[in-house]
Amino acid sequence: MLAIAARSMGYRVHTYEPEKGCPAGQICDVEVNAPYTDEGALKSFAAGVDVISYEFENIPRSALETVAAICPVHPRGEVLHICQNREREKSFLQAKGFPCAPFRVVDSEAALRLALSELSTPAVLKTADFGYDGKGQIKISGDIDAGEVWKQFGAPRGVLEKWIPFQAELSVVCARGRDGTTATFPASENIHSNHILDLSIIPARFDPSILKAAENLAAGIMRELGVVGLLAVEFFLTTDGTLLVNELAPRPHNSAHFTLDACMTSQFEQQLRAVCGLPLGSPELMKPVVMWNLLGDLWENGAPNWNAVLSDPRAKLHLYGKSEARLGRKMGHVCLMAETVEEALEGIKAIRAALAKK
């Protein structure tokens, strides 16, 4: 989607991806397939472009350092280093005074026992590295055997977080240009199913003061990190109306795919503008919208009948070109704009029901 935005503005695009035939590679001028540890391939790739950005966190910092010695990289490697590890991420937020759930870093059964005695249960044990869509997490409730939990966890280091009773999850995507100017997309109300984002509702159905506070916090975190590019900030809205930062992602975010259809400037065009030193575009929401993630489950009995989606003329279908549909894998999304959020939700509900019958 970044490559499509770049194409529309006259840029040529190269992509670096270990596996052949990635979605970006399908429309890029050059696709380099090599491991992130291949220093020669990385240097050759960097020498062939004017600026480098990335679209997920699971890249070794050493790879960014290799290419950054040859070509500008945005966001910078230090941002990725912080955001790809929960321990560093939580410590950064805490040190800078941003609200997040109470946590402890644990590296042994004994450390887990101590952390549980301090935070009590319920709590969530998360791997320090990697993990997304609920992966690498164990919820701990009631009286448990810390030894069994640590054995089941299987990682050398983790973050234990106090369980937060929340009423909703929100996210905000911000952009920051090379000149320090910022633009913030409207907050998205996110509904998950089995730890995977299912629906995003924009505008989020909460008091405007809460939404403004979320946008201000996201912009503040972006400035403290010194991001050039995009930063997504995921929040818990607690039952008492408090916002807590859950996770950071220095890249385009699934919950902001609605910007492709519903905003003056998409998050991908905004990423392009930011990293290439162009003025940022307007993040204005043109119409209420609901986005529905299409998971690989829909392909279980063959390719879905997209007529069931497109029979509603307000629906916009986006498929990502992934080679294999797997259960729980994000394969695409549908956006539906309407005069009100309620109308958009009803439209998505009808599409889901129609698609289930096909």
Residues 286, 331, single domain; the answer is yes
The answer on 303 and 199 residing in a single domain is yes
For the chain, how many structural domains are there in total? 3
pLDDT in tens, the chain (358 residues): 999 999 999 999 999 999 988 899 999 999 999 999 999 999 999 999 999 999 988 899 999 999 999 999 999 999 999 999 999 999 999 999 999 999 999 999 999 999 999 999 999 999 988 655 556 789 998 877 888 899 999 889 999 999 999 999 999 999 999 999 999 999 999 999 988 999 999 999 999 999 999 999 999 999 999 999 999 999 999 999 999 999 999 999 999 999 999 999 999 999 999 999 999 999 999 999 999 999 999 999 899 999 999 999 999 999 999 989 999 999 999 999 999 999 999 999 999 999 988 6
Q: Are residues 174 and 155 in the same domain?
A: no
| Amino acid of residue 51 | V
Q: What is the rounded distance in angstroms from the CA atom of residue 157 to the CA atom of residue 327?
A: 29
What do you get for the CA distance between the two ends of the chain, in Å? Answer: 28
> What's this model's pTM, rounded to 2 decimal places?
0.94
**CATH number for the domain that contains residue 62:** 3.40.50.20
Structure tokens at 173: 């995507």
Tokens of 148: 């069994």
Instruction: Provide the 8-state DSSP code for 282.
Output: P
Full residue range of the structural domain in which residue 338 is found? 166-357
**How far, in Å, are 12, 171, 175, 274, 288 from residue 281 at the CA level?**
20, 20, 10, 9, 19
Q: Are residues 327 and 195 in the same domain?
A: yes
Maximum CA extent, the chain = 60
| CA angle in degrees (0–180, nearest 5) for 129-73-36 | 50
Asked whether residue 90 is assigned to any structural domain, the reply reads no
Let me know whether 115 and 65 are in one domain. Answer: no
| 113 and 172 fall within a common domain | no
SS3 274: helix
Residues 224 and 349 in one domain: yes
Residue 265 belongs to some domain of the structure: yes
Residues 285, 136 within the same domain: no
CB 95 within 8 Å of CB 103: no
